[in-house]
Chains A and B, each alone.
Chain A
Amino acid sequence: MPIRRANSIDLLQGTLDMLVLEQLRWAPSHGYGIAQAIRTQSGDILRVDAGSLYPALHRLERQQLVRAQWTVSDRKQRTRVYRLTPLGRRRLAGERSRWEQLSLAIGAILDRGGVKA
C-alpha cells in the first residue's frame, strides 16, 4: 500500500516553497491553479501532488509569506486564493539567488567532471 507521507515533502520542501512563491509572484492563485501552472511550465515534468502542495501552502501562510482569501472564481466556484505578502516577496528573492548560486556551483562541478571524463 503506497503511503504518501512527509518523506516525499521533505525532499522537495525548500524547492517546492520557492516554486509556489514564484507562481504567486505574478498573480494571486488558488492551489489547483498553482499545481497546474507548475506542471505546465515545467513541461509536465514536475507534478506537485495535493499531499505536498497544501501542507506547503498552509505552512507558508503560517510563516506569513502568503495570505489567503476566499473568492469566487469566474466559473462561480468558491476558491481559496493565495497572494504573496511583502515578506514572501523578499523571501522569494533570497531563495532565488541562493538557488542560482547553488545551480551555478553544481553546474561548475559537473562541467569540470565532464571535461576530465
Chain B
Amino acid sequence: MKLPLWRRRQDDELTEELRSHLAMATQDRIDRGEPPDQAAAAALREFGNPLLVRETVRDTWGWISIAQWGSDLAYAVRGLRRSPGFVVAAVLTLALGIGANTAMFSIVRAVVLRPLPFADADRLVALNELDLRASGDRRGTLSWPNFLDWQQRSRTLASMAAYHSANFTVAAGGSAAHVPGVVASTTLFSTLGVTAATGRTFAPDDESAEANVAVVSDEFRLTHLGGDAAPIGRAITVNGRPFTIIGVLPSGVVFPIESPAPQLWVTAAEDARVEDAGDTPMTEQRGAHFLQAVARLRHDVSLAGTRAELDAIAAAIATQHPDDNAHRGAAATPLLEALVGDVQRPLWLLMTAVACVLLIACANVANLLTARGLARQAELALRVALGASRDRVVRLLVAEAVVLAVAGAACGVGVAVWSIRALVPLAPGDVRGLDAVTLDGLVLLFTALLAGGCALIVGVIPAVRVTRGDPSRNLTSSRGPGGQPSQWRWLNGLVVAETALGVMLLAAAALTLDGLDRLSGRDPGFDVSGVLTMSVSLPDSRYPFARQVAFYDQVVPALSAIPGVEASALVGPLPLGGSRFRISLELPGDSGDATARRQSPGFAFVSPDYFRTMRIPLRQGRDFTVADRQNSPRVAIVNESFARRYFAGVDPIGQRIRPGLSIDEPAAPWREVVGVVGDTKQVTLLDEPAPAFFVPHSQGMITTPHLVIRSTQGADAVPAAVRRIVAAADPELALYDVRSLQERLGASMASERFATLLFTAFAVLALLLSAVGLHGVLAYSVSQRAHEFGVRVALGAEARDVARVVLAGAIGLVGAGLLIGVAAAVVAGRLMAASLSFVQAPGVTTYAIVTAVFLTIAVVCGVVPARRAARTDPLRVLRAN
C-alpha cells in the first residue's frame, strides 16, 4: 500500500519496533539454549504474520482509512474502466438526475432562497388593506390618507413607505423616452435601508410642492445619462416638468422588484398635484386605493404584534370614516413572502417531482451495481476467503458508487448549465429572481450533497446486499452467481419503486397538461388574434384631462385609416394587461350602507368601437358613440354578469347606476345603462365571470389607456404607422408597451406553461429512466435464468410459454408499481390542485392514460428479453453447467 509521505516515517518506526520485538524474542530463546535458526522460526511462529500485525496497528492510526479509500478509489476506477458500457449508462443516468435537480434547485435558490438585497430584509413587511367583503385573497392597495393614518399611529413599525408604479416620459437632453418609474413617500429608501451609490436618496423636505427631485437607477444613468459618473444636480424633464437628479442607486438595486424594473423615483408630491385649484389631490382621497406599502418592523416587535396593532388601527379608522373604510382591514406579510408567496408552493412541488426523478435514477444505478455485484460474487467471496474483511469488500463496492456519483455530478453540472440556459428564456418574466438563475456556491454545495446521497443509495445498500450471506457458498455454488431469492426481491423491489415514482410523475404531468389545455381553451370573451396593443405616454403637465381626451379623439380615428386596420379603440385598464380596477357601486334605492357592503364591480373606460375592435358581442342596447362626450349625459355599458346580478328579471337598458367615479363633477354622477356586452376576462383566463361595467373614455379616463388595433397587417407595419400618426400629433410623445394581445395572453399563462413544461420534462425523464431500469432488470434476469429456461424447454415448454413467463414478470412488476403509484398520485394530485390554480384534481381518465402508458412500457421493455428467453438453447445451457 502506498502511504502518504508524512506517515512513512511512522510506518518505518513500526516496522523497526516489530523487528526489535522479534529480535528480542529470538535472543531469549537462544539464551535458553535453542539453536539460532530454530529460535528465529519459533519466535516468528509465536509472533504471527508481521505484515498482518502491521496492518492491524495501522488500522488503529485512523488516518489509514483515508489512504485505503485512496487505493479503493483507484481500484474502483481501474475496475470500472473495464466495463465502459456500464459506466456510461450509470454516469449518464446519474447526470440526468443530478443535473435536473441542480437546475431546479438553482431556480428555487434564485426565487425563494436568495435574500432580498436589503439590510435586515427579514424585518421588512409588505402592508395591504384588506377588503373584508371579498373571499379568497382579500389583500388590496392603500389610499394615501389611510397610509398616513397608519404611519402616524403605528408604534411597532420603525418606518414605513407607500409607493405606486408610474409611467414617466423623461427627457434628459435628448429625445423623450418612456421610463417605468415609481411615485413613493420620501421614507421609501430609508425603510429599505438603501443608500445612494452617488448623491443621496429622499429627505423629508423633498416632498414639498416645488422640490421636484428624482432618484434614478444605475441602469437609467447608463442608458439615459450617457453613463455620466456624477449626474447629481443634472436637470431632466419628467412628464414635461423640470426635475433635478439628487441620487443614483447602487447597481442592481431597485424597488419595487417587478418587471419591467423601475428606473426613476419621485416623491408623493407628484400625487399631490391638481389640475384645477378646486380639485382634491390623490393624496387626500381616502377612497382612492392604489398604493403598495412596505415597512420595517422594530427589532423588539414580532410580526404578530404588528398585525394586532394594524388590526386595531384599521378598526379605529373604520369607525372614523365608515363611508370609505367600514369594510377595510389591514395586513402585514413578510416582504419576501409577499413577493414569491404565489410561486413558492409550485416551486416546492416541482422540487419534489425532480427529487423523484433522481430517486428513479438512483434506483436504476443501484440496480446496475447490484447486478454487477451479484455477477462478481464469486470474486468477492474469494477476496473474503483471502483475508479481506467484509467492511473492506463493502468499501470496495461503495468506492465504485462514489466514483460513479462524482462523475455523474460533474456531468450533471453540465446538464444543469445547459438546461438553465434553455429554460430561463421560457420562464415567466414577472417572477422575482427567475432572470438571475445561476449556479452559485449554495447550488454547487447542494449538488455535492446530492452526489453524496446518490453514492450512499446506489453504493451502500447494494454492497451490503451483495456481501450478505455465506461467502463460501457463493464460492462453491455450482449454479453460478446471483441465485439468492432475497437479492431478487431487492432488484424487483427497486423496479416496483421506480415504476411507482414514474407513475406519480406522469400523473402530475398529465394533470398540468390537462389543466393548461383547459386554461388555453377558455374563452377570454374577445378575439385575441390580430389585435395589437400599445400605450402613448402623455406628459400630464402638458396634457390635462380635456386635452388627453382631445388627443385620443384625434389619434384613434386616424389609426383606422392605416391600411389593413379594421378597427381601433382605446381602453383602460387593458384586458390581460395585468391590472384590474374595481369601483364601488350605488344602485337606486340603496342606503349608503348597502353600497359599502357590496363588493365593487370591475371597471374599464373605453372609446366607441372598443367592443367591435375586440369582437366582444353586444347583447343588448347600443355601443358608445362619439356623441357620448364629456358634457353629454353620463352613460355606462354593463356586462352580462352585471345584468344578471343587479337587474335580474328587468330590462337593464335604461336602468341607472352610480359608480364612485367622477372626472370633473363635484360628486359621482348617476349613469344610465345603454348597453349589455358579453363577459370578458380581465387579468388571466382563470378569472371567474364577474360583474363589470364600462364608461366612455371621455367620462372616466382615470389611468393611462392602451390603444387596441385590429388589423390584417403584420405586427411590424402597424406600430411604425402608429408612431408616425402620434408623432404628427406631438413629436415629443413616445410609444411604449407595444405587444400583440396574443402575446399578452401567452404571458398571462407563462407561469402555468412553465410549470407544465417542467412537470412534463420530469415525467419524460422518469419514463425513460424507468423503462431503462425495467429493461435492465429483465435482461439481467433472463441471462441469469437461462438455466431454468433451458430446463423448461428441455421438458417440452414452447418458446411462447417461456416468452410469456418473462412478459408476465414484466407486467407483474409494473402492475405492482402502478398500484402503489396510482394510490400515491391520488394524494399528490390533491396537493397539486390545491397549490396550482389551473390544475384540477385527477379523474379516472388520468389514471387510465397513465396505466396504459406504463403497461405499454412493460410490454415494450419485456419483448426483447422475452424473445431472448424464448430462443434459449437447452443443450448449450445445460452443457455449460
What is the interface of chain A, defined by CB distance below 8 A to chain B? 1, 3-6, 9, 30-33, 35-36, 49-51, 54-55, 58-59, 62, 70, 73, 75, 77-80
B25 nearest CB neighbor, chain A only: A32
B60:A50 contact, CB within 8 angstroms: no
A80, B17: Cβ atoms closer than 8 Å:
yes
CA–CA, A24 to B375, complex, Å? Answer: 52
User: For window 6-57 of chain B, which residues contact chain A by CB distance below 8 Å?
Assistant: 13-14, 16-18, 20-21, 23-25, 27-28, 46-50, 52-53, 56-57
List chain B positions with a Cβ less than 8 A from chain A: 13-14, 16-18, 20-21, 23-25, 27-28, 46-50, 52-53, 56-57, 59-62, 385, 387, 389
Q: How far is the CB of A56 from chain B (nearest CB, A)?
A: 8
Instruction: Please pick, from B28, B48, B59, the residue contacting A50 in the complex, using a CB distance under 8 A.
Output: B48
Q: How far is the CA of A5 from the CA of B50 in the complex (A)?
A: 13
For the complex, what is the distance from the CA of A36 to the CA of B31, rounded to whole Å?
15
Q: A55–B52 Cα gap in the complex (Å)?
A: 11
A78/B20 contact (C-beta < 8 A), A1-B387, A58-B60, A62-B60 known: yes
**In the complex, A80→B21 CA distance in Å?**
9
Q: Which residue of B lies closest to A54 (CB)?
A: B57
Query: What would 7 more interface pairs be, CB under 8 Å, given A50-B47, A50-B53?
Result: A9-B56, A30-B21, A49-B46, A51-B48, A58-B60, A59-B60, A62-B62
Known: A4-B48, A58-B61. A51 touches B20 (CB 8 A): no
For chain B, what secondary structure do more than half of its interface residues adopt (helix, strand, loop), or is it mixed?
A: helix
Q: How far is the CB of B641 from chain A (nearest CB, A)?
A: 81
Is the beta-carbon distance between A77 and B52 smaller than 8 angstroms? no
Structural contact, B48 and A62, CB atoms closer than 8 A: no
Q: How far is the CB of B26 from chain A (nearest CB, A)?
A: 10
Q: Is A79 touching B24 in the complex (CB atoms < 8 A)? A: yes
Please measure, in the bound complex, the distance between the C-alpha atom of A30 and the C-alpha atom of B23, giving whole angstroms.
12
With A51-B48, A51-B56: A5-B389 Cβ-Cβ less than 8 Å: yes
Q: Are A55 and B59 in contact (CB under 8 A)?
A: yes
Pairs across A and B, CB under 8 Å, 11 listed: A1-B387, A3-B387, A32-B24, A50-B18, A55-B59, A55-B60, A58-B60, A75-B24, A77-B20, A79-B17, A79-B24
Known interface pairs A5-B389, A30-B20, A31-B17. Does A75 touch B27 (Cβ–Cβ under 8 Å)? Answer: yes
Identify A54's interface contact among B18, B24, B46, B62, CB under 8 A: B18
Contacts of B62 in A (CB 8 A): 62
Q: In the complex, are the beta carbons of A79 and B18 less than 8 A apart?
A: no
Instruction: List 8 A-B pairs, minimum CB-CB distance, nearest first.
Output: A32-B24, A80-B17, A32-B21, A55-B60, A51-B53, A54-B57, A59-B60, A79-B20
Chain A residues, CB < 8 A from B46 = 49
Q: A35 to B25, alpha carbons, bound, how many Å?
A: 10
Give Cα A55–Cα B14 distance, bound, in whole angstroms: 11
Q: A4: which B residues are within 8 A, CB to CB?
A: 48-49, 52
Kindly list chain B residues whose C-beta atoms are within 8 Å of the C-beta of A5.
56, 389
Give the distance to chain A from B389, nearest Cβ to Cβ, in Å: 7
* Residue in B16, B50, B52, B389 whose beta carbon sits within 8 Å of that of A78 in the complex: B16
- Chain B nearest CB, measured from A28 CB (Å): 14
Contacts of A77 in B (CB 8 A): 20, 23-24, 27
Chain B residues with CB below 8 A from A50, complex form: 18, 21, 47-48, 50, 53
Q: Are B23 and A54 in contact (CB under 8 A)?
A: no
**Nearest CB on B from A10, distance (A):** 12
B492 smallest CB distance to A (angstroms): 35
Query: Nearest residue in A to B20 (C-beta to C-beta)?
Result: A79
Q: How far is A32 from B43 in the complex, measured between Cα atoms in Å? A: 11
With a cutoff of 8 Å between Cβ atoms, the chain A residues found around residue B23 in the complex are 77
Question: Is the beta-carbon distance between B52 and A32 smaller than 8 angstroms?
Answer: no
Q: A80–B48 contact, CB under 8 A? A: no
CA distance A77 to B16 in the complex (A): 11
In the complex, chain B residues whose CB is within 8 Å of the CB of A78: 16, 20
The CA of A103 and the CA of B49, in the complex, are separated in Å by 34
CB distance from B214 to the nearest CB of A (A): 70
Q: Chain A residues near B27 (CB, 8 Å)?
A: 75, 77
B378 smallest CB distance to A (angstroms): 18
Residue of A nearest to B46 (CB): A49
A116 to chain B: closest CB distance in Å? Answer: 42
Chain A residues positioned under 8 Å from B50 (CB to CB): 50
